[in-house]
């Protein structure tokens, strides 16, 4: 199943709105992001921009890499679940 906007919302993605003033586009746009780490801002999932969406089909990738691209809802959900499974909730000192 493809990724729809409602899927991003249900998975906990945050909507980031870029105003017309910020974008230089008369309509502005928005995208979704999901931070996988509080310590590393680059470790996040990011969607396409809303002005590039057709038929409510969204694509998500790991920020600043083309190595991890998600086009199916279940694959994206599994990836997030796997990442969260190993996320440390407390700092462990060696």
Strand segments (E) across 6-92 = 14-18, 29-35, 44-47, 60-62, 69-70
Residue 34 CA to residue 44 CA, distance in Å, equals 5
pLDDT at 59 (0 to 100): 97
How high is the pLDDT of residue 42? 80
Tens-of-pLDDT digits for all 94 residues of the chain?
999 999 999 999 999 999 999 988 889 999 999 999 888 878 899 999 999 999 999 999 999 888 899 999 999 999 999 998 887 765 555 5
């Amino acid at each position: 199943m493809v990724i729809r906007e409602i899927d991003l919302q249900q998975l906990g993605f945050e909507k980031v709105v870029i105003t017309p003033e910020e974008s230089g586009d008369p309509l502005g746009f928005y995208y979704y992001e999901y931070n996988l780490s509080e310590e590393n801002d680059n470790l996040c999932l990011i969607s396409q921009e809303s002005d590039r969406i057709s038929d409510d089909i969204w694509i998500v990738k790991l920020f600043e890499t083309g190595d991890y691209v998600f086009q199916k809802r279940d694959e994206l959900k599994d990836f997030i679940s796997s990442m969260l499974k190993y996320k440390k909730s407390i700092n462990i000192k060696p």
